[in-house]
Structure 1
Amino acid sequence: MFLMLSGSSSVMADTSYETFDIHFAVLTSNPSAHLVATLSQFQEEVNILNTYFVKEDRSPIIKFKFKSASFYNDIKNSTCSFIGLGDTMNQNDTDWATHFNSCNDPFVKNKNALNFYVFDSYNESYGYNHKDGFGKRNSNRPFIVLDWQRLNHNIQAPEEHEMGHAFGLSHFCALGASPTSSTNIMSSSCQGGSTGKRDIGFNNEQVNTIMYYVPLIKAKLALP
């Protein structure tokens, strides 16, 4: 079932901040994922982003609003090759952006919104118990992809971290950090450091980068 809540969200748009609509789509055929990736959970994902996509002082940078959702049974027969990536075993060898950009199915890709995809991540070491995600700015038409087991802010602040990538941010090396250290949202494993808890908001340089891309992304998403 395709669902759209026009003008409605678990968090209403705040006119004090630039607000971005989010379209959700479930790419994986995994029935366990379907039990988790529900309409109510997608609305909660918006709440999570509005709570944690923030500056170091916990103040907002931008806001997010639920726009629509497509579930696996809605889109499994789409002609978009992007659908086939929901359970891919070649995640790191796949040009996700090319498949995304070639998709013209509005139930799969909403061209006027940020697109948030749920998939079942795989690698050789962990199989489908791999819990990965990534975000791409994609020439100012961003999308993020998150393993279903990381929904609801599970495992190292995935929503705000991947959305940070979608707004042009790179990884941050938190030197001296341990796995239990408080670290910047964009922290990642590095020599002499650790991902940590990713519970410190974006620093001034990161906020400036995000705000540089905000009007560029807004303009691209406004195109017909």
Structure 2
Amino acid sequence: MKKISCSIFKIFLMLSSSSSAMADTSYETFDIHFTVLTSNPSAHLVATLSQFQEEVNILNTYFVKEDRSPIIKFRFKSASFYNDIKNSTCSFIELGDTMNQNDTDWATHFNSCNDPLVKNKNALNFYIFDSYNENYGYNHKDGFGKRNSNRPFIVLDWQRLNHNIQAPEEHEMGHAFGLSHFCALGASPTSSTNIMSSSCQGGSTGKRDIGFNNEQVNIIMYYVPLIKAKLALP
């Protein structure tokens, strides 16, 4: 009788362990819509459908906790290329190559856009542009993310695609989920630093190769249901 009981108990533990493993791998998943805003032909060679699918893979690999475990998941939904949107009436598309990017209220232009090719209201929107500033011209290679009252979007220079230069995808998506910069005082370009690291007072942001800490994960998870609810609106 004891042998039978032990066997049943072992089976119960195996089933419980299996159920826990299944539960642990169940994450909220967010769809992503990609849009190419820039008219730069060089960008069009890089910002391809296959690259967008790779961008999703990058986010699923690197948007993680310090122990490298996932927080949420991302899924490719759709894409609009420059030729698809160049005649749109949305003022947002004019920002793809603008020389006044720092003086522009991107969120206002985004929120006023009703063209589904430019803005998918039921997905996270990922825009590719050609960043500009006075010092570097169109070789600026910048990006940013906006939570935008729980309807997030990120904007990334085309030269930053494919995880180029300081972990841009997960960093900007961190901003999109409510995170601020994490000061990496004294870091060098080869230092291991938090995903959200910033030089703050000069120096370097480091490699941004350490996942989100517990406080950051809590902030992300606070906004997850709020963002989900906003994106589910008709």
Is the TM-score greater than 0.5? Answer: yes
CA pair 37-17 structure 1, distance change in 2 beyond 3 A: same
SS of the counterpart of 1:7? helix
- Runs ≥4 in structure 1, deviation > 4 angstroms? 1-15
CA pair 5-76 structure 1, distance change in 2 beyond 3 A: farther
Find the counterpart in structure 1 of residue 51 from structure 2: 41
Looking at structure 2, the residues matched to 78 and 65 of structure 1 have their Cα atoms a distance apart, in angstroms, of 26
Could you tell me which of 160, 174, 177 is aligned with 1:167? 177
CA pair 155-10 structure 1, distance change in 2 beyond 3 A: farther
1:152-191, Cα deviation, whole Å (9 max, x unpaired): 0000000000000000000000222111100000001122
Question: Cα offset for 1:12?
Answer: 15
1:21-50, Cα deviation, whole Å (9 max, x unpaired): 000000000000000000000000000000
- Specify the structure having the higher radius of gyration (Cα): 2
Give yes or no for the alignment of 1:95 onto 2:127. Answer: no
* TM-score scaled by length of structure 2: 0.89
| Mapped contact 1:19–1:63 kept (Cα < 8 A) | yes
Looking at structure 1, the residues matched to 30 and 63 of structure 2 have their Cα atoms a distance apart, in angstroms, of 12
CA pair 7-50 structure 1, distance change in 2 beyond 3 A: farther
Find the counterpart in structure 2 of residue 67 from structure 1: 77
| Mapped contact 2:187–2:199 kept (Cα < 8 A) | no
| Mapped contact 2:130–2:157 kept (Cα < 8 A) | yes
| Mapped contact 1:3–1:69 kept (Cα < 8 A) | no
* TM-score scaled by length of structure 1: 0.93
CA pair 103-7 structure 1, distance change in 2 beyond 3 A: farther
| Mapped contact 1:11–1:47 kept (Cα < 8 A) | no
1:57-79, Cα deviation, whole Å (9 max, x unpaired): 00000000000000000000000
Looking at structure 2, the residues matched to 161 and 2 of structure 1 have their Cα atoms a distance apart, in angstroms, of 42
- Greater percentage in helix: 2
Find the counterpart in structure 2 of residue 135 from structure 1: 145
SS of the counterpart of 2:102? helix
Structure 1 portions without partners, runs of 5+: none
| Mapped contact 2:185–2:199 kept (Cα < 8 A) | no
Root-mean-square deviation (CA), in Å? 7.7
CA pair 93-208 structure 1, distance change in 2 beyond 3 A: same
Deviates more, 1:175-184 or 1:92-101: 175-184
CA pair 89-10 structure 1, distance change in 2 beyond 3 A: farther
Find the counterpart in structure 1 of residue 131 from structure 2: 121
Structure 2 portions without partners, runs of 5+: 1-10
| Mapped contact 1:70–1:108 kept (Cα < 8 A) | yes
1:7-27, Cα deviation, whole Å (9 max, x unpaired): 999999997000000000000
Looking at structure 1, the residues matched to 17 and 146 of structure 2 have their Cα atoms a distance apart, in angstroms, of 26
Find the counterpart in structure 2 of residue 211 from structure 1: 221
Question: Cα offset for 1:194?
Answer: 2.8
CA pair 65-5 structure 1, distance change in 2 beyond 3 A: farther
